[in-house]
Amino acid sequence: MKIIRCADELRRELKEQAGKSIGLVPTMGFLHAGHISLVNASRENTDLTVVSVFVNPTQFGPNEDFDSYPRDEARDAELLMAAGADIMFVPTVSEIYPEGNSTDIVLTSGIKTKLCAKTRPTHFDGVTNVVARLLCLVKPDKAFFGRKDAQQLAIITRMTRDMLIGTQIVGCPIVREQDGLAMSSRNTYLSESERVSALSISRSIKTAAEDIEKGKALASVRDGVSSEISASGGRVDYVEIVDPGTLEEIDDGGAGFGGDYLLAVAAYFGKTRLIDNIARIDGKCI
């Protein structure tokens, strides 16, 4: 595996590998099995896998955890080597946002104002801009994103289509700990008791999906998730059941819902904000 830090060097390397199909896995590092599942998907579907490790400052709000976000480049490199990644791209901020950067992509659709955007209003502009730059640089055939960040996946899918980038955006399943907690680099912030409380998220959304299958009214399904998280000591940011593509709230008129949906949750345990979701996509529960 090559470790590359400069955009120019990455461009040169990819030119030398011309003819191979390229997979890109964008990450912020501090890797876990969720990230590695994306690397595996890329290896299975493309000839050459590039993994970027970049804690992107523009997607953090002023009072968020950019400085304290966990970082361990040496460990990440070991994990990526073991997983069979071909290139680990570890740029500095100025490689991604050249000095005097004066070009940004601005999302215009309502999709960026929903779910997480209500508490993180600038987050998705940052995500869109870093991913757009990585796609321009790497020009991958396919780029792999986790369904855990469902709103990110929906936004990147749109942006890639709108900007005629041509990369296929592939959504990959959520990887969970054995007890159900969705893997996240931020889980390291949780105390032992917060981590136990946080299991209420995965537990309650699993029950919710079963209830939706049985035809329960969505408002009552949402309330069930909220109550279980609050009872465990979590502070609910939102529980919403939305269209997986537009993220518009689904109104079932109290009659239950048989179509595709995304049930998305964000909640705080102590100071740590966790997100998770469950969905029915193309008729399948994932």
Q: Which residues bind ligand AMP (CB under 6 A)?
A: 27-28, 34-35, 37-38, 145-146, 148-149, 172, 174-175, 182-185
Closest approach of ligand AMP to the CB of residue 249, in Å: 22
Report the C-alpha gap between 187 and 197 in whole angstroms: 12
The answer to whether the CB of 174 falls within 8 A of the CB of 146 is: yes
- Rounded least distance, CB 171 to ligand AMP, Å: 9
Closest to ligand AMP by CB, 133 vs 148, is: 148
* Closest-approach residue to ligand AMP (CB): 146
Cβ-based nearer residue to ligand AMP, 29 or 234: 29
Catalytic choice (4, 10, 31, 35): 35
Which has the closest alpha carbon to 120: 151, 148, 94?
Answer: 151
Q: Is 35 a catalytic residue?
A: yes
- In whole angstroms, the minimum distance from the beta carbon of 184 to ligand AMP comes to 5
Contacts of 103 (CB under 8 A, 6+ apart): none
Min CB(49)–ligand AMP separation in Å: 14
Point out which residues pair with 171 in neighbouring strands: 145
For 155-191, b where at least 16 C-beta lie within 10 A, e where not — what string?
A: bbbbbbeeeebebebbbbebbebeeebbbbbebebbe
- Decide whether 61 or 215 has the Cβ nearer to ligand AMP: 61
Query: Do residues 154 and 127 touch, judged by C-beta distance below 8 A?
Result: no
- Give the nearest distance from C-beta 63 to ligand AMP in angstroms: 19
> In the complex with ligand AMP, which residue's Cβ is closer, 54 or 257?
54
Residue among 64, 124, 137 at smallest CA distance from 97: 137
Closest to ligand AMP by CB, 27 or 157: 27
- Name the residue among 234, 242, 244 with its Cα closest to residue 201: 234
Query: What positions carry a catalytic annotation?
Result: 35
